[in-house]
Amino acid sequence: MISQNLPRLLLTGPPQCGKTTVVRRVVEAYPGRAAGFYTREVREGGRRVGFEIVTLTGEAAWLSHVDFAGPRVGRYGVDVPGFERLALPALAPAPGVDLLVVDEIGKMECLSPAFVAAVERLWTAPAALLATVAAKGGGLIREIKARPGGRLLPVTPRNRDRLPEEILDLLRPYQ
Protein backbone atom coordinates (compact mmCIF):
# COMPACT_ATOMS: atom_id res chain seq x y z
CA MET A 1 0.00 0.00 0.00
CA ILE A 2 1.34 3.43 -0.93
CA SER A 3 1.23 5.96 1.86
CA GLN A 4 -1.51 8.55 1.16
CA ASN A 5 -1.40 7.74 -2.58
CA LEU A 6 1.78 9.77 -2.89
CA PRO A 7 3.48 9.72 -6.30
CA ARG A 8 6.00 7.00 -7.06
CA LEU A 9 7.73 8.38 -10.18
CA LEU A 10 10.19 6.06 -11.90
CA LEU A 11 12.42 7.46 -14.63
CA THR A 12 13.80 4.83 -16.97
CA GLY A 13 15.83 4.68 -20.14
CA PRO A 14 19.16 3.54 -21.51
CA PRO A 15 22.47 4.75 -20.05
CA GLN A 16 23.30 8.39 -20.78
CA CYS A 17 19.76 9.31 -21.89
CA GLY A 18 19.53 12.05 -19.25
CA LYS A 19 17.87 10.41 -16.23
CA THR A 20 20.28 11.93 -13.72
CA THR A 21 20.06 15.33 -15.39
CA VAL A 22 16.27 15.24 -15.06
CA VAL A 23 16.57 14.28 -11.37
CA ARG A 24 19.06 17.05 -10.65
CA ARG A 25 16.89 19.67 -12.37
CA VAL A 26 13.84 18.56 -10.40
CA VAL A 27 15.78 18.71 -7.12
CA GLU A 28 17.20 22.17 -7.93
CA ALA A 29 13.71 23.58 -8.60
CA TYR A 30 11.81 21.62 -5.97
CA PRO A 31 10.31 24.01 -3.39
CA GLY A 32 9.85 21.38 -0.67
CA ARG A 33 12.43 19.39 1.29
CA ALA A 34 14.08 16.51 -0.55
CA ALA A 35 16.47 13.82 0.66
CA GLY A 36 18.36 11.03 -1.10
CA PHE A 37 21.16 10.82 -3.61
CA TYR A 38 22.10 10.96 -7.27
CA THR A 39 24.97 9.37 -9.16
CA ARG A 40 27.63 10.99 -11.30
CA GLU A 41 30.19 9.51 -13.58
CA VAL A 42 33.87 10.14 -12.94
CA ARG A 43 36.22 10.62 -15.88
CA GLU A 44 39.98 10.66 -16.03
CA GLY A 45 41.66 11.71 -19.24
CA GLY A 46 38.32 11.69 -21.05
CA ARG A 47 37.67 8.06 -20.08
CA ARG A 48 34.91 7.02 -17.67
CA VAL A 49 36.56 5.22 -14.75
CA GLY A 50 33.71 4.95 -12.29
CA PHE A 51 30.71 6.41 -10.54
CA GLU A 52 30.17 8.36 -7.33
CA ILE A 53 27.03 8.84 -5.33
CA VAL A 54 26.29 12.33 -4.08
CA THR A 55 23.75 12.95 -1.34
CA LEU A 56 21.42 15.91 -1.61
CA THR A 57 23.39 17.41 1.29
CA GLY A 58 26.56 17.31 -0.83
CA GLU A 59 28.43 14.34 0.63
CA ALA A 60 30.10 12.10 -1.97
CA ALA A 61 31.50 8.57 -2.02
CA TRP A 62 32.64 6.10 -4.63
CA LEU A 63 30.08 3.63 -5.89
CA SER A 64 32.35 1.90 -8.38
CA HIS A 65 35.69 2.19 -10.15
CA VAL A 66 37.53 0.23 -12.81
CA ASP A 67 40.36 -0.42 -10.31
CA PHE A 68 38.21 -1.62 -7.39
CA ALA A 69 38.20 -5.26 -6.34
CA GLY A 70 34.98 -6.88 -5.20
CA PRO A 71 31.75 -7.60 -7.01
CA ARG A 72 31.80 -6.46 -10.63
CA VAL A 73 29.22 -4.98 -12.94
CA GLY A 74 30.74 -4.80 -16.37
CA ARG A 75 34.25 -3.42 -16.01
CA TYR A 76 33.55 -1.75 -12.66
CA GLY A 77 34.25 -3.07 -9.19
CA VAL A 78 31.53 -1.96 -6.78
CA ASP A 79 32.28 -0.65 -3.27
CA VAL A 80 29.14 -1.99 -1.60
CA PRO A 81 30.16 -1.06 2.00
CA GLY A 82 31.12 2.49 0.96
CA PHE A 83 27.88 2.88 -0.96
CA GLU A 84 25.83 1.68 2.01
CA ARG A 85 27.63 4.01 4.46
CA LEU A 86 26.50 7.06 2.51
CA ALA A 87 23.36 6.03 0.62
CA LEU A 88 21.40 4.31 3.38
CA PRO A 89 21.36 7.26 5.82
CA ALA A 90 20.45 9.56 2.90
CA LEU A 91 17.40 7.39 2.20
CA ALA A 92 16.13 7.24 5.77
CA PRO A 93 12.80 9.09 5.89
CA ALA A 94 13.05 12.13 8.15
CA PRO A 95 10.49 14.59 9.51
CA GLY A 96 9.76 17.37 7.05
CA VAL A 97 11.09 15.50 4.01
CA ASP A 98 8.39 15.37 1.35
CA LEU A 99 10.43 14.00 -1.57
CA LEU A 100 12.79 11.01 -1.53
CA VAL A 101 15.24 10.76 -4.43
CA VAL A 102 17.01 7.57 -5.55
CA ASP A 103 19.32 7.73 -8.57
CA GLU A 104 19.46 4.89 -9.33
CA ILE A 105 17.93 1.48 -8.83
CA GLY A 106 20.45 -0.37 -10.94
CA LYS A 107 22.64 -3.46 -11.00
CA MET A 108 25.44 -1.90 -8.94
CA GLU A 109 23.15 -0.58 -6.22
CA CYS A 110 21.15 -3.83 -6.07
CA LEU A 111 24.31 -5.70 -5.02
CA SER A 112 23.43 -4.32 -1.57
CA PRO A 113 20.64 -6.27 0.18
CA ALA A 114 20.34 -3.33 2.60
CA PHE A 115 19.69 -0.96 -0.34
CA VAL A 116 17.06 -3.31 -1.75
CA ALA A 117 15.34 -3.36 1.66
CA ALA A 118 15.56 0.45 1.88
CA VAL A 119 13.87 0.84 -1.52
CA GLU A 120 11.11 -1.51 -0.35
CA ARG A 121 10.56 0.72 2.70
CA LEU A 122 10.59 3.90 0.59
CA TRP A 123 7.67 2.59 -1.44
CA THR A 124 5.39 3.06 1.58
CA ALA A 125 7.18 6.05 3.13
CA PRO A 126 5.14 9.18 3.87
CA ALA A 127 6.84 11.16 1.09
CA ALA A 128 6.76 11.28 -2.69
CA LEU A 129 9.38 9.14 -4.44
CA LEU A 130 11.42 10.10 -7.50
CA ALA A 131 13.73 7.33 -8.64
CA THR A 132 15.63 6.31 -11.71
CA VAL A 133 15.57 2.64 -12.62
CA ALA A 134 17.75 0.80 -15.10
CA ALA A 135 16.14 -0.01 -18.43
CA LYS A 136 17.26 -3.63 -18.18
CA GLY A 137 17.68 -6.01 -15.29
CA GLY A 138 15.95 -8.58 -13.15
CA GLY A 139 15.09 -8.77 -9.48
CA LEU A 140 14.19 -5.43 -7.91
CA ILE A 141 14.78 -3.60 -11.21
CA ARG A 142 12.08 -5.58 -13.00
CA GLU A 143 9.79 -5.80 -9.97
CA ILE A 144 9.77 -2.09 -9.13
CA LYS A 145 8.84 -1.13 -12.70
CA ALA A 146 5.85 -3.49 -12.59
CA ARG A 147 4.69 -2.56 -9.09
CA PRO A 148 1.16 -1.15 -8.80
CA GLY A 149 1.09 2.52 -7.89
CA GLY A 150 4.29 3.41 -9.72
CA ARG A 151 4.34 5.70 -12.72
CA LEU A 152 7.01 4.79 -15.28
CA LEU A 153 8.37 7.81 -17.15
CA PRO A 154 10.68 6.93 -20.06
CA VAL A 155 13.48 9.46 -20.59
CA THR A 156 14.54 10.18 -24.16
CA PRO A 157 16.56 12.92 -25.86
CA ARG A 158 13.23 14.31 -27.11
CA ASN A 159 11.53 14.66 -23.70
CA ARG A 160 14.36 15.09 -21.19
CA ASP A 161 14.31 18.89 -21.31
CA ARG A 162 10.58 19.18 -20.58
CA LEU A 163 10.36 16.30 -18.05
CA PRO A 164 11.60 18.27 -15.02
CA GLU A 165 8.70 20.73 -15.26
CA GLU A 166 6.20 17.90 -15.85
CA ILE A 167 7.52 16.09 -12.77
CA LEU A 168 7.35 19.26 -10.67
CA ASP A 169 3.72 19.65 -11.76
CA LEU A 170 3.00 16.07 -10.65
CA LEU A 171 4.63 16.71 -7.26
CA ARG A 172 3.06 20.13 -6.59
CA PRO A 173 -0.14 18.84 -4.89
CA TYR A 174 1.92 16.80 -2.38
CA GLN A 175 4.30 19.49 -1.09
pLDDT in tens, 60-101: 999 999 999 989 999 999 999 999 999 999 998 789 999 999
pTM of the predicted protein model: 0.94
**Rounded CA gap, 124 and 63, in Å?**
26
pLDDT one-digit tens code per residue, 9-24: 999 998 889 999 999 9
Percent of the chain with pLDDT over 90: 89
Domain containing residue 130: CATH number: 3.40.50.300
Give the structural domain span for 138: 3-174
SS3 category, 1: coil
pLDDT tens per residue, range 134-162: 999 999 999 999 999 999 999 999 999 99
Q: Which residues of 14-44 are buried (b: 16+ CB within 10 A; e: fewer)?
A: eeebbbbbbbbbbbeebeeebbbbbbeebee
Q: How many domains, in total, are found in the chain? A: 1
